[in-house]
Amino acid sequence: MRPLSVGLAGLGTVGGGVVRLLRDNADLIALRAGRPITLTAVSARDRNRDRGVPLAGLRWYDDPVALAADPALDVIVEAIGGSDGPARALVEAAIRAGRPVVTANKAMLALHGAALASAAEANGVPLAFEAAVAGGIPAIKALREGLAANHISRVSGILNGTCNYILSTMRREAEKGAGREFAEVLADAQRLGYAEADPGFDIDGIDAAHKLAILAALAFARPVAFADVHVEGIRRVSALDFTYAAELGYRIKLLGLAARTEAGVSARVHPCMVPLSHPLAQVEGVFNAVVAEGDFVGRVVLEGRGAGGGPTGSAIVADLIDLARGRTTPVFGVACAALSAEPAVPIARRHGAYYLRLMVVDRPGVIADVSACLRDHAISLESMLQRGRSAGEAVPVVLTTHECDEAAMQEAAARIAALDAVVEAPMLIRIEPLT
């Protein structure tokens, strides 16, 4: 049978992983695909750079959009990255030309996925993106195909390896009594290559939010809507918080959480207190995990490496195998016209418990003032932890609440922050039972 001819745009970490995988596992891939999958053309900015992979004999395009017009290609793989620019132009050109597209580009899908899905459907072109979420974990296939018979009530996960590495390291160091702070651990992650020189996309939660927007679209059959995702990062998490979390029976994780409620669909990314008994509490280091909850299947947990050339390349080639076999599905699981118009539920409507850490001047009456702020907003305390005394100096006080409304908790926290005995902004972390 004639080989599937592939054009690849982008020869960085991900693109290089695709080249190596197609070369090293060629026989297995051909067996699974029913025919060989052959890389025949590439596009990248620098022809002379040594990328450590064989590129001899391949047609080379300086302009990635020109790659989409190559009549000898059966499928285009986009591994450039970025929500706009060359990546988006290539994908749009390939769809117009009637060529299937495989992409690892979560930012592009999160911001433009609805328009791209409509264009792909109108042109009868498959748009595959297993590699866009959680690297080598088959999260897209699980939601779109494996769990297709279920009503999904919630999808959650650890969706950024950089953040999970930082938080895992801070926890381990806190348990040793070392108490290393965020900035120091981030610097280590950058030296080890786990964090970018400019880590804002990761540590501010944007990367995880891109992925959650895609997962929510698949889980709830609604248009992808990044603007509806509430996003908070991990910059303010302190070594102190890990010490108290352990005492309270939690681990701190940056989670993406999307759920269908009677009011609509909520989607949020922020640090969470996760019970030690939950599978996500045990996911450490650079690993990712996705948890889906269906009405008939129950809880499904997927864990693995969420980034890197090998895992991401594996997901891209899995999509190529599907295309070689003629296996395709609608981009977000159903036809675009059938996507739900359920409203987005804002974070202000969350109802749950909270962890609140304060740094307060150690003097009489402070706790009474704090309690009054909570009382005035109908928030009741579950526990209070205070360690040590230092008259006239700042000491940490940790409170946990019973379930209350987010809006009330935020108002109470603002009032507490304004107290003259509170010396820094309160640290508020949502407690997520995930049951």
- So what's the pLDDT on residue 52? 78
Share of the chain above pLDDT 70, in %: 99
**List 106, 141, 176, 211, catalytic entry:** 211
Beta carbons of 329 and 36 less than 8 angstroms apart: no
| Mean pLDDT confidence for 214-227 | 96
Verify whether residue 211 is a known catalytic residue: yes
Residue 392: which pLDDT band, with cuts at 50, 70 and 90? low
Same domain, 283 and 215: yes
- Final residue of a structural domain among 99, 132, 165: 132
Q: In the listed set 277, 305, 333, which residue is the last one of a domain according to the structure?
A: 305
Q: Are residues 220 and 363 in the same domain?
A: no
Tell me the per-residue pLDDT of 58-84, one tens digit each, with 9 for 90 and over. 999 999 999 999 999 999 999 999 999
Averaged pLDDT, 160-173: 96
**Which of the listed residues 72, 100, 132 is the one where a domain comes to its end?**
132
Residue 334 located in a structural domain? no
Tell me if 343 is assigned to some domain: no
C-alpha gyration radius of the chain: 24
Residue linked to tokens 């070392």: 178
Q: Is the pLDDT of residue 435 over 70?
A: yes
SS3 content of the chain, % helix, strand, coil (to 5): 40, 25, 35
Helix (H) or strand (E) holding 152: strand 152-158
- pLDDT tops 90 at residue 57: no
The whole domain housing 204 covers 139-305
Residue 390 has pLDDT above 80, yes or no: no
Return the pLDDT at 433: 92
pLDDT tens digits, 258-288: 999 999 999 999 999 999 999 999 999 999 9
What pLDDT does residue 116 have? 97
Q: What is the CATH number of the domain that holds 368?
A: 3.30.70.260
φ, ψ of residue 11 in degrees (nearest 5) = -125, 35
Cα separations (Å) of 337 from 122, 152, 155, 260, 332? 11, 20, 23, 20, 11
Domain identity same for 288 and 263: yes
Q: Quote the CA–CA distance of 335 and 331 in Å, as a whole number.
A: 8
Residue 327 falls within a domain, yes or no? no
In a domain, 94, yes or no: yes
The DSSP output letter for 194 is: S
- Same domain? For 19 and 72 the reply is yes
Nearest-angstrom CA–CA distance, 187 and 162: 12
Do residues 268 and 230 lie in contact, with contact meaning Cβ atoms separated by under 8 Å?
yes
Q: Amino acid identity, residue 130? A: E
Q: How far apart are CA 275 and CA 41, in angstroms?
A: 49
| C-alpha triplet 314, 322, 31: angle, nearest 5° | 75
Asked if residue 271 and residue 179 are part of one domain, the reply reads yes
The mean per-residue pLDDT over the stretch 142-162 comes to: 96
**pLDDT tens-digit map of 168-205:** 999 999 998 878 999 999 999 999 888 888 999 999 99
Helices (H), 137-181: 139-141, 161-175
Closest CA to 167 of 269, 306, 287, 275: 287
Residue 20 lies in a domain: yes
Q: Report pLDDT for 391.
A: 61
Note whether 37 and 159 are same-domain residues. no
The CATH number of whichever domain residue 65 belongs to comes to 3.40.50.720
Nearest to 173 by CA among 184, 187, 157: 184
Q: Enter the tokens of residue 175.
A: 């348990």
Burial class (CB in 10 A: 0-12, 13-18, 19+), 388: exposed
291 with 235, same domain: the answer is yes
Find the mean pLDDT for residues 295-320. Answer: 94
CB contact set of 239 (below 8 Å; sequence gap of 6+): 170, 173, 174, 179, 180, 181
Return the CATH number at 159.
3.30.360.10
Please answer whether residues 347 and 230 qualify as being in contact, where contact means their C-beta atoms are separated by less than 8 angstroms: yes
- Would 211 be classed as within a structural domain? yes
- Mean pLDDT (the chain) is 94
C-alpha span between 208 and 210 (Å, rounded): 5
* 321 part of a folded domain: no
- Is 310 a member of any domain? no
Burial of 51 (0-12, 13-18, 19+ CB in 10 A): middle
Q: What is the mean pLDDT of residues 81-109?
A: 96
Residues 170, 275 share a domain: yes
Cα(420)–Cα(1) distance, rounded to whole angstroms?
Answer: 77
Q: Do 193 and 226 share a domain, yes or no?
A: yes
Residues 163 and 278 in one domain: yes
Domains in the chain: how many in total?
3
- Other CB atoms within a 10 A radius of the CB of residue 284 amount to 16
Number of neighbouring beta carbons within 10 Å of residue 403:
14
Residues 128 and 185 in one domain: no
323-364 pLDDT, tens digit per residue, is 999 999 999 999 999 999 899 999 999 999 999 999 999 888
Q: Which amino acid is at 321?
A: I
CB 421 within 8 A of CB 361: yes
Q: Are residues 165 and 280 in the same domain?
A: yes
Is 314 in contact with 363 (CB distance < 8 Å)? no
This prediction has a pTM of 0.95
